[in-house]
Structures are given as structure tokens and as C-alpha cells.
Amino acid sequence: MSAESWKLTLPCTRAEAEAIDASGDLGDAIPGDAVLMTTEEIEDDVESWRLDAYFEHEPGADTVAAVRALVPSAAGARIAVERLAAADWVTMSQAGLEPLSVGRFFVHTRAHADAVPAGKRAFLIEASRAFGTGHHETTSGCLAMLDGLADAAPGERFANVIDIGTGTGLLAFAAADLWPDAAVMGTDIDPVSIEVTQENADLNGVAGIDLVVADGTLDDAIVARAPYDLVIANILAGPLVSMAPEIASIADAGATIVLAGLLETQRADVVAAYTACGCSLDAVDRRGDWSVLRLRAGATRFVADGPFDPKGRDGWALDI
């Protein structure tokens, strides 16, 4: 760790905080070692949130401008720049990340490593360069959805699982734990996320997950392993809609598809895109403004009309 650590602080709104939490892509102007944390300042006040950005080195003007661009509501606010004393600033930045208990899973940072309850499957997931600590409603909702599938009577059984947009790898790890005999693949468009996932897999003793850097499903390794009987995609509404034919095409007939990263106001558009590919909606887990969807692929495996064109996709940005 560098002897010099720095923190930038700006006010923000809840919508901006959720957009930051839901997007792992912070742009080229923000260093890959940055840790961004959002905090509710006043309970139930959507305008009173705070963004803290931590860096190992003094941020330059371009970095400061990039952080400010994440919170347009703070355009006129003074950005607080603080030089921190030599300390483990990553641990400090995560002090507010309380452990998360979802079903049989317990997700925590090093700050709470001694708080794991007996009988829980613990995952140590630090806030990092990739999205998916479990604390956002989209990720915790997916964890609950997967846990519920295993606990159903009779519980679902899967043999071939893919987690698209794996982030930190948490959902892929959960699937591997719930269905230990299944082949599990984690993919992400961001090579950094795949690096982080491998680091987290080693840290948590998770073995046997195949990791692929891929744009959606456009990779030979993904296609070769298809069809999948469980498809997980926790990304954003725009890509979920535009990737519907891709995702449906790698799903087996009758497969379970878990989708997240969408606001409740975007649910109808996402469901319509998958219905057009022969899927049907089985369940919705609404968490605040966010929804997690469970769909069932059609009885006949979906075949796309033509090749997929990634240039035609919507941008990887949250539309709030």
C-alpha cells in the first residue's frame, strides 16, 4: 500500500448512488485501484447521499473531473479532497459495509471476518475494482433467488450454469456451492472483473469455475458449452434487452434464467424482450426500486434469426 492515500467526497442523490453501485465500468479516467463508496446521509431522503472515492495516489485533475461527472447533481458543490494518514484505506473505506446474510450465505469483508455465524457458507468479498459485493439489491436479490431455487420442494437441480457479467464472481460461487456437481462458467466483458473473480475464488477456496472474458455470449468457449440449464445475468436493463436473443439462444429448453440489474420501471421492457424469444416469467423479487426476474425458457430451444451484432446493443449505462 502506498504511504499516501487520498479521498474525494461529493454529495449525490440516491439515484446517482445506485447508478454508481450498479455499474462496474467507471471509465478510463478513474484509476483501476480506486474504491468508490456511496452512503445514505439522511434516512429516506433521496437527495442526501454521499460519494467517497479512495485512491492510493493523489488524484489528478482528470480523475477529479471524472469523479465529479458521476454525480451531476453536485455540479456546483465543492469537492472535498483529503489526504489520509498512512493506514489501510481499503479497510477504512469498507468499514460501513456490514455483513450480508442471505439464506445460507454470509457475505462479508475482512473487517467482519470474525462475525461468520455457524452453519453459514461465508464468502469474503472485498469492495474492489469489480461490481458485486452482494450489498446492492440486484446482487442480494440474485443470491436469494438462487438460494430459493435450491430450497424449493423439490429443489431445482442444474448441471450446466453460466453467470454473465460475473463482476466479483459472487453469484458464480453461490451456484457452485448450491450445485457442486454442476459445470459453472463466469464471464465478464471487463478483463479486470475476471482477474478479481479469480482472486476471490482463490481467497474463498472455490475451484473448478471456468472464467472467460467475453462480450455477452460472443465467445467460442461459451457457445461450445451451451446449452445451459441455468443462466444468470446481473447486468443492466439496456444490455439485458438487446442481448435477449443471445441469452435465449444459449439456454436449454425449459432452462431457468435469472435476470437482474433492472429497475422496476424497466421490468416490462425486459420481460417483453425475453417473451419474444419464447421465455415466460416465473417470479419477481422486488427490492426497493429494483427487480430480480426468474424466467423459464420455452419448451423448444430458441434459435436466433441471424448473427448477433454487438454494435447494435444499447450502452452499458443505467437509465434512471
Quick one: pLDDT at residue 256? 98
The verdict on 36 and 84 lying in the same domain is yes
Between strands 80-84 and 5-12, the pairing is antiparallel
The verdict on 70 and 148 lying in the same domain is no
Does residue 182 sit within a domain?
yes
Quick one: pLDDT at residue 132? 44
pTM (two decimals): 0.73
Does residue 83 sit within a domain?
yes
Quick one: pLDDT at residue 161? 98
- Give the span between the Cα atoms of 88 and 33, in whole angstroms: 13
3-state DSSP of 249-271: HHEEEEEEEEEEEEEHHHHHHHH
Residue 157 maps to which CATH number?
Answer: 3.40.50.150
Quick one: pLDDT at residue 86? 52
Domain that holds residue 145: 130-312
Does residue 290 sit within a domain?
yes
- Give the span between the Cα atoms of 295 and 297, in whole angstroms: 7
The verdict on 196 and 277 lying in the same domain is yes
The verdict on 304 and 194 lying in the same domain is yes
The verdict on 18 and 155 lying in the same domain is no
Quick one: pLDDT at residue 27? 55
Which of residues 93, 122, 153 is at a domain's end? Answer: 93
Residue 40 maps to which CATH number?
Answer: 3.30.70
Which of residues 48, 78, 93 is at a domain's end? Answer: 93
Does residue 119 sit within a domain?
no
User: Is 76 within any annotated ligand binding site?
Assistant: no
User: Is 165 within any annotated ligand binding site?
Assistant: yes
The strands making up 105-108's β-sheet, listed across from edge to edge, are: 100-102, 105-108, 121-124
Quick one: pLDDT at residue 133? 45
Residues of the chain with pLDDT under 50: 1-2, 88-90, 129-134, 315-320
Which of residues 93, 111, 146 is at a domain's end? Answer: 93
The verdict on 156 and 230 lying in the same domain is yes
Extract the C-alpha cell encoding 306. 441471424
The verdict on 53 and 142 lying in the same domain is no
User: Is 282 within any annotated ligand binding site?
Assistant: no
The verdict on 140 and 274 lying in the same domain is yes
Between strands 228-234 and 183-188, the pairing is unpaired
Does residue 106 sit within a domain?
no
The verdict on 231 and 178 lying in the same domain is yes
Does residue 78 sit within a domain?
yes
- Give the span between the Cα atoms of 172 and 35, in whole angstroms: 23
Closest C-alpha among 125, 121, 127, 126 to residue 106:
121
The verdict on 205 and 279 lying in the same domain is yes
The verdict on 144 and 13 lying in the same domain is no
Question: For the chain, how many structural domains are there in total?
Answer: 2
Quick one: pLDDT at residue 46? 73
User: Is 166 within any annotated ligand binding site?
Assistant: no
Quick one: pLDDT at residue 233? 95
Between strands 105-108 and 121-124, the pairing is parallel
Tell me if the bond preceding 180 is cis, omega within 30° of 0.
no
The verdict on 185 and 276 lying in the same domain is yes
Does residue 71 sit within a domain?
yes
Does residue 121 sit within a domain?
no
The pLDDT tens digits for 218-246 are 899 999 999 999 999 998 888 899 999 99
Which residue type sits at 39?
T
